[in-house]
Amino acid sequence: MSAARAQPISTRPQDLPVKGSLPRLRVAYEKGERLAYLGHLEVLTTMERSLRRSGLPVSLGNGFARRMRVQFSQALPVGASSACEYLDVRLEERVDVDEALERLVRATPPALAPLRAAYVCRDLPALEAWLNRADWAVELGPLCPAQELLDAIEAVRLQGEVRYLRGDKEKVVDVAGALVGASVAERDGGLSLVIETRSTPGGSLRPQVLVDAALRSMGLPPADAPRVRRVRQAHEEDGCLVEPFGPMEQAARAPLS
């Protein structure tokens, strides 16, 4: 009768590192305009594969599936690009932040290029909930004078809420609470908007929902394929904004190409 093979103690779920004690690496990356119509789940899958290819010592969960301990910022609307997407990944051991960023840059498609990395405080809330402010740049055709569109956006805000269809379901968004500010300028034969939004318990305000509601109030059809780009994410607390990389321990930036 052969002796049973001993199992390494470290393979037992109860002996794996506690999540809160692991180094928390935050990575900023872009979503290029070429990938604007790539869905959120596809982006997550691609970034998780890039983490695996990078060879970083990514920590796995204690559950049956043993998924990577990685969190992402709020999903982009389909059709939007971004200059400021974020992920947090827990590592089994600390890796020099410059080396970690270099590995990720080599392992990730250029259109989702990592831009910066830093070790951040381990006990911060999950990214999706913590990053509750976002700024958006929206490019439209010459639909109307800039001031008229700005006035229409303000009128929508004063209404308090907007109802719209997402698939077969009716959604309601609290525009009064979610819209922080907006500006409109006439540029290159079209309109250039900057929209500042806040996530609320009732959900997030999508830029195209706001723009279409404003155009509808003016008797105009919805905007045809506007270019939408998320240009900033931050955390709002007690009237102050905290950038995603603060507080941080150590940071690295990808070199300019």
pTM: 0.85
> pLDDT tens track of the chain, all 257 residues?
444 444 444 444 444 555 668 999 999 999 999 999 999 999 999 999 999 999 999 999 876 667 899 999 999 999 999 999 999 999 999 999 999 999 999 999 999 999 999 999 888 899 999 999 999 999 999 999 999 999 999 999 999 888 887 778 888 889 999 999 999 999 888 999 999 999 987 778 999 999 999 999 999 999 988 999 999 999 998 888 899 987 544 444 555 43
Cβ neighbours, 10 Å, residue 71: 17
Contacts of 166 (CB under 8 A, 6+ apart): none
CA 139, CA 222: separation in Å to the nearest integer? 14
Q: List the structure tokens of 200.
A: 């609320």
Q: According to the CATH classification, is domain 17-130+243-252 in 3.30.70.580?
A: yes
Given a contact cutoff of 8 angstroms between Cβ atoms, the answer to whether 143 and 211 are in contact is no
Whether 79 and 34 have beta carbons less than 8 Å apart is answered as no
Distance (Å) of CA 243 to CA 36, 80, 194: 24, 21, 19
Where do the domains of the chain lie?
A: 17-130+243-252, 142-222
Strand-pair partners of 171:
164
In whole angstroms, what separates CA 130 from the centre of its chain?
11
**In the chain, where does DSSP find H-type helix?**
40-54, 97-107, 127-130, 146-159, 175-178, 207-217
Condensed to tens digits (0 to 9), the pLDDT of residues 238-250 reads 888 899 987 544 4
pLDDT tens per residue across span 33-88: 999 999 999 999 999 999 999 999 999 987 666 789 999 999 999 999 999 999 99
The dihedral sign for the CA sequence 34, 36, 42, 47: positive
